Structure 1
Amino acid sequence: MLVKLEHVTKTYGQFKLDCSLNLEEGHVTGLVGQNGAGKSTTFKAILGLIKPDSGSVQVLGKDGGQITDADKMRMGVVLSDSGFGGHLNIKAAASIMAASYSRFDRERFLRQCTEHRLPVDKKIKEFSTGMKAKLKVLCAVSHEADLLILDEPTAGLDVVAREEILDMLREYMEAEGKGILISSHISSDLEGLCDDIYMIQDGKIVLHEDTDVILSDYGLLKLEAGQYDSLDKTYILRIKEESYGYSALTDARQFYQENYPSLIVEKCGIDQVETMLIGGKRK
């Protein structure tokens, strides 16, 4: 197990994190939620940047307090406020990486920067948002890390730049024993990359599901008032009043398609499931 959190709590004023999640080798796990839901706090707890009030954190098979500098070299990290000083260029950044990580491959790193159209002699402060994002990810995967922790690595990027970064991550996962924990507000990125998804709301995990199951089994029913009253609600997870009646989230889309052929039953993606879990009511 690369990461294991068991009821990790942290309180800031009115906000309280209480999070449990696992990241297995060979898996890409997504963490989604609204701003302020607890994603960044969870990442900071994993990285040892904050001390939890209670609960246990295990990273790379060790308790959080036992992580050594050698263990940290096995981790690649992208945070929203991380990065190199704007006055540096990529060659200078490579020198810093080489001094920091024993397994950093300078030549491969510089070659990949060139392949991704990053000018090695230009100051980083002159880079576009997409260029800075690609540089962060290339740094994270350049020292043979076994674990990547990525907080919104594709935020603010156009579709081409996002796909380049996702391709980097897919290539990284081709090696055995690797794992990625990633957050993103762009559900299509996660749907095409992640093996499983955790949804966090108000500091608590409200759903953990395989991505394939979300895309294949979950659905959104569009119901008039009379249809809702006569509906078998066994497999309804959340309901929401609408101008036409109700929308209802289910994890058994096929059941309602087969047993209620007159109903409108739409497929769900991560966005729709998250919206209903946050805005809908229990049946």
Structure 2
Amino acid sequence: MLCFENVRKVYKDFELNCSMRVEPGCITGLIGPNGAGKSTAFKAALGLIRTDGGRMEILGKPADQLLPSDREQIGVVLADSGFSRYLRIKDLLPVLDHLYHGFSREEFKQNCRKLSLPMDKKIGEFSTGMKRKLQLLAAVSHDADLLILDEPTSGLDVIARDQLLGLLREYMEKDGRSILISSHISADLEGFCDDVYLIDQGRIILHEETDNLLNRYGLLKVTPEQYAGLDQAYILKSRREDFGYSCLTDQKQFYVENYPNIVIERGSIDELIMMMNGRES
């Protein structure tokens, strides 16, 4: 559905150089700290910036050969874009109708009512959460095959996030659809994505299925004495703490079976980001 092979974008103080795939029928998460390259990768995929090398395919075609009809099959939410603040939702209806052959006006209006978005109020008077809801509704309203979503739940409270994730789950009920999504809210990705890529300083440093990440990865909490006697073969990263060391492993069961006296915590996306982007002690 989407493929990056050594895609490069060079800025004065930053370089993106990454490879990743979004398979048909899958929800793929792109995670990493601020400035890691997530938004740059999204803009490269959409042709909003000129790349300096590598190969990109979207919907089975080279990205630079997409036709307008192909682009209609992509729904987009970007963190730094939105609709004109002077428009009302009812003003958007003819625009979306004109842009997308697959736009469903009635379904869009129904979803607006479901998410308490007023048709007659200017978008500039919307809260941040309301604007984000509107962006996502527009992205899923025209029967796209691929969604590219940069921080779609940013600025939303727990209830609104749950509503929007429910909307995305409904979207995925049709076979062959895919989503590439980034989010700083790890709980969203842990319960939603099939696989995740971790990006740091413009490069992919880890790719893992979410189930494997949550089941196989773990965080060992050990004293200096325990650390000295620890088999380091399956330690990915270690960090010095006040009590001793925190150690990230992708073979949690090995340490459960062989080191019954150490504390082993379940791995999480937050811990993965912090450990993989930190320095070994």
Deviation (angstroms), 1:126: 1.4
Alignment correspondent of 1:158 = 157
- Corresponding residue of 2:243: 244
The one-letter amino acid paired with 2:36 is A
1:34 aligns with 2:41: no
Aligned-pair CA distance for 1:193: 0.7
SS in 1 for 2:277: helix
1:280 Cα deviation after fit:
3.5
SS at match of 1:234: helix
- The percentage of aligned residue pairs carrying the same residue is 54
Q: Secondary structure at the match of 2:238?
A: strand
Given residue 159 of structure 1, which amino acid in structure 2 is its aligned partner?
V
Structure 1 Cα separation of the partners of residues 212 and 231 of structure 2: 21
Quick one: distance in 1 between partners of 2:81 and 2:138? 11
Mapped contact 2:6–2:17 kept (Cα < 8 A): yes
- In the other structure, the counterpart of 2:226 is 227
- In the alignment, the residues of structure 2 paired with residue 122 and residue 49 of structure 1 have an alpha-carbon distance, to the nearest angstrom, of 30
CA distance in 1, matches of 2:257, 2:93: 58
Paired residue type of 2:246: S
Q: Does 1:137 align with 2:139?
A: no
- Alpha-carbon separation, structure 1, partners of 2:256 and 2:7: 40
Equivalent position amino acid for 1:14 in 2: D
- 1:214 alignment partner in structure 2: 213
CA deviations 1:106-155 (Å, max 9, x no partner) are: 11111111122111111111112221111111100000000000000111
SS, match of residue 143 in structure 1? coil
Counterparts of 1:82-231 in structure 2, within 5 Å, are 82-231=81-230
Stretches of 4+ moved more than 6 A in 1? none
Q: Which residue of 2 aligns with 1:279?
A: 278
Report SS of the residue matched to 1:177. coil
Residue identity matched to 2:220: L
Unmatched tracts of structure 1, length 5 or more: none
Does residue 3 of structure 2 align to residue 4 of structure 1? yes
CA–CA distance in structure 2, aligned partners of residues 206 and 81 of structure 1? 25
TM-score norm. by structure 2 comes to 0.98
How much does 1:178 deviate?
A: 0.3
- 1:59 aligned partner, one-letter code: I
Q: Indicate the SS of the match to 2:149.
A: strand
- The two structures have a TM-score, normalised by structure 1, of 0.97
CA shift at 1:81, angstroms? 2.1
Q: 1:186-205, CA deviations, whole angstroms, 9 ceiling, x for partnerless residues?
A: 00000111000000000000
Q: Could you tell me which residue of structure 1 aligns to residue 45 of structure 2?
A: 46
Q: SS of the counterpart of 1:31?
A: strand
RMSD value, Cα:
1.0
Report the AA paired with residue 27 of structure 1: C
Residues 24 and 177 in structure 2, CA contact (< 8 A), matched pair in contact too: yes
Take 2:183 and 2:250, find their aligned partners in 1: how far apart are those partners?
23
Shift of 1:268: 1.1
SS class of match (1:122): coil
State whether structure 2 residue 71 is matched by structure 1 residue 72.
yes
Q: Distance in 2 between matches of 1:148 and 1:244?
A: 44
One-letter identity of the residue aligned with 1:196: D
Measure how far apart 1:157 and its partner are.
1.3
Residue 62 of structure 2 aligns with an amino acid whose one-letter code is D
Secondary structure of 1:21's aligned partner: strand
1:260, distance to aligned residue in structure 2 (A) = 0.4
Distance 1:114 1:39 in 2: 32
Q: Is the 8 A contact 2:33 2:273 kept in 1?
A: no
